[in-house]
Amino acid sequence: MENTEGVFFLTGKDFKNAGAASSSLKGILEGRGVPQPIIRRVAIAAFEAEMNVIIYAVAGMMNYTITDEMIKIRIQDMGPGIPNIEQAMKEGYSTAPDYIREMGFGSGMGLPNIKRNSDTLTVNSVVGEGTTVEFSMNLPPAE
Amino acid sequence: MELQEVINSLSLKVENPSVNLKREVTGAYVSDMLSDVMGNAHEGFLWITLQIHLNIVAVASLKGLSGILLVNNRVPAEETLKKAIEENVPILTSSLPTFELVGRLYSLGLRCR
Ligand SMILES: Nc1ncnc2c1ncn2[C@@H]1O[C@H](COP(=O)(O)OP(=O)(O)OP(=O)(O)O)[C@@H](O)[C@H]1O
Ligand SMILES: [Mg+2]
């Protein structure tokens, strides 16, 4: 099948549209006939990365590429960056402010959820500039 | 278990009766933290929570949950309900607190696995 790629734009604090990019991506994967268990993993990881942009950054974008071999997603933002990525990856670590916690975010499980559901994950960040989270899921060979 | 059976047994109110209620409830999960649900609930689970804002619908829809049950007389925000109709996610409510609801769901045979 031909590769599919595209981009969604994300706006910081836009809680009204939170999850919209991940939902659209899920629809695209369903349209391409990607196996359900893999779609589920992508949906979880994409949502977590999308929410982190909305919660912590000013703006960002989600790029996706789907080939016959894999699904690759890159979420890049302009935002405060992450000073200590290793610490941020730890389950339970969160800097979410109170009003975000009241909405049910800030359990420090987002990045661990991405890690658990992806086959590769890289997080790059420059404090004061932004963060790039890139992950991929392998697709089973077509019969 | 059929969702309708759960609704009847616990006398739950369906806040958006226009959605398709014909679905299987495969288990249940309780949490007010969205990433916890993302990480630990499974497809077909009923989600018990006190969160009423819009983003709960995205979580339920992305995870393929069978519905959201709001506890303690909580009512969904208007935009939450609108979104839930769009995304076909049942929103159920009850006057009972979480502990009571979960006890009843457990006696009905629902588990978290
Ligand atoms: N895009 C980002 N920009 C700046 N900081 C980030 C970004 N993503 C994550 N972080 C930092 O890493 C921490 C951990 O992120 P993670 O997604 O694991 O948990 P959380 O967002 O705090 O809570 P949860 O995802 O469970 O709602 C965040 O609290 C924040 O400090
Ligand atoms: Mg997060």
Q: Which atom of ligand 1 is nearest to the CA of A108?
A: 19
Residues of A in contact with B56 (CB under 8 A): 104
Instruction: Report the alpha-carbon distance of residue A143 to residue A67 in Å, rounded.
Output: 15
Predicted TM-score (pTM) of this structure: 0.97
CATH assignment, A4-138: 3.30.565.10
Tens-of-pLDDT digits for all 113 residues of chain B? 999 999 999 999 999 999 999 999 999 999 999 999 999 999 999 999 999 999 999 999 999 999 999 999 999 999 999 999 999 999 999 999 999 999 999 999 999 98
Which residue is it, tokens 């994300």? A10
Closest by CA to A28, choosing from A17, A42, A49, is A42
Q: Are A118 and A136 in contact (CB under 8 A)?
A: yes
Whose atoms come closest to the Cα of A111: which ligand? 1
Q: Which residues contact A95 (CB under 8 A, 6 or more apart)?
A: none
Degrees to nearest 5, angle at CA B60 with B5 and B63: 105
Interchain proximity A44–B39, CB inside 8 Å: yes
Going along chain B from its start, the domains and CATH numbers come out as 3-107 (3.40.1390.20)
Query: How many Å lie between the alpha carbon of B101 and the closest alpha carbon of chain A?
Result: 20
A47 Cβ partners below 8 Å, 6+ apart? A19, A22, B38, B58, B59, B62
DSSP code of B87? H
- The residue ranges of every structural domain in chain A are 4-138
Q: Are the C-beta atoms of A92 and A108 separated by less than 8 Å?
A: yes
Q: How many CB pairs under 8 A join A and B?
A: 73
Instruction: Report the candidate in B87, B86, B85 with the shortest Cα–Cα distance to residue B63.
Output: B87
State how far the alpha carbon of A96 is from the alpha carbons of A44, A85, A109, A117, A135, in Å: 19, 15, 12, 22, 23
Ligand 1: atom nearest CA of A75 is 1
Amino acid at A71: I
Q: Which residue of A has its CA nearest to B53?
A: A103
Q: What is the ipTM of this complex?
A: 0.95
In this structure, which residue's CA is closest to atom 10 in ligand 1? A82
**Which residues on neighbouring strands pair with residue A71, listed in sequence order?**
A66, A137
Beta carbons of B39 and A116 less than 8 Å apart: yes
Quickly state the pLDDT bin for A142 (edges 50, 70, 90): confident
Whether B63 sits inside 8 A of A43 (CB atoms) is: yes
Alpha-carbon span A11 to B52, nearest angstrom? 22
Each residue's pLDDT tens digit, A43-98: 999 999 999 999 999 999 999 999 999 999 999 999 999 999 999 999 999 999 99
Using CA coordinates, name the residue in chain B closest to A19.
Answer: B58
Cα(A109) to ligand 1 centroid in Å equals 8
